[in-house]
Chain A
Amino acid sequence: QVQLQESGPGLLKPSQTLSLTCTVSGGPINSGGYYWSWIRQQPGRGLEWLGSIYNGGSTYYHPSLRSRITISADTSRNHFSLSLTSVTAADTAVYSCARGPRFESGFSEYNWFDPWGQGVLVTVSS
């Protein structure tokens, strides 16, 4: 059973860099054809996809964050990471990692975001 766990600092000052790691257990991140993703929820708002990485290399990012975001993966440690530079109060959110998407043909629940980590609250405040 695949499980994901986020880790990283919970408090940042404006202009600092947010760095989070998602450690995956129960299966390797470089197999199965999965992307691995970061998603956040700002206070009082809905879910926002931030970006995804595939097989340790290919990435897709949310257009509004493209200048500040980097997602990387370390297959030897079976984890992937989020870096978001120049944070502001607007980046205060619960950040979650998730397995998915996957683009296999046919109908499959494995093509979607599942499972998810529990999420970690990151607060940006001076």
Chain B
Amino acid sequence: EIVLTQSPATLSLSPGQRAILSCRASQRISTYLAWYQHKPGQAPRLLIYDASHRATGIPARFGGRGSGTDFTLIIGSLEPEDFAVYYCQQRRDWPITFGQGTRLEIK
């Protein structure tokens, strides 16, 4: 099983600041990684697929990079609606796995 480790567990920032979230895979997964945003009571929202491609309708302030084992989600300038939990997910191999999540909270 490919384990995804996200850091930090919680990130406290203010609107307008830049957020950098990390996801590390226990083995190489090429670019088979996605990022989701999850807010309470809502379905998770696909943000970034294949490590660096923005999904349809996702604002340009969201960006992803990485390949192999180390991946990063960058939110360029935080908007109030960006405070949520973010998960990475791999589909390089079964079982599909998610990271444990990073909670992005308002400072």
Q: Tell me the residues in window 1-52 of chain B with beta carbons closer than 8 Å to chain A beta carbons.
A: 1, 31, 34, 36, 38, 42-44, 46, 49-50
Nearest chain-A residue to B100 (Cβ)? Answer: A46
| Residue from A47, A101, A103, A112 within 8 A of B101 (CB atoms) | A47
| Number of residue pairs A-B, CB distance < 8 angstroms | 68
Q: In the complex, what residues of B have CB within 8 A of residue A101's CB?
A: 91, 96
Nearest chain-B residue to A52 (Cβ)? Answer: B96
Most buried by B among A62, A108, A113: A113
Nearest chain-A residue to B6 (Cβ)? Answer: A46
State whether B96 touches A116 (Cβ < 8 A).
no
Task: Name the distance in Å between A10's Cβ and chain B's nearest Cβ.
Answer: 15
A119 with B43: in contact, given A109-B49, A113-B89 (CB under 8 Å)? yes
Q: In the complex, what residues of A have CB within 8 A of residue B95's CB?
A: 49, 60-63
* A118: interface (CB < 8 Å): yes
State whether B91 touches A109 (Cβ < 8 A).
no
Nearest chain-B residue to A116 (Cβ)? Answer: B43
State whether B87 touches A47 (Cβ < 8 A).
yes
- In whole angstroms, what is the CA distance A62 to B95 when docked? 6
* B78: interface (CB < 8 Å): no
Task: Name the distance in Å between B99's Cβ and chain A's nearest Cβ.
Answer: 7
- In whole angstroms, what is the CA distance A119 to B40 when docked? 11
What 3 A-B pairs come out closest when comparing CB atoms? Answer: A116-B43, A107-B50, A114-B46
| Residue from A63, A107, A112 within 8 A of B46 (CB atoms) | A112
Q: In the complex, what residues of B have CB within 8 A of residue A32's CB?
A: none
- In whole angstroms, what is the CA distance A49 to B55 when docked? 21
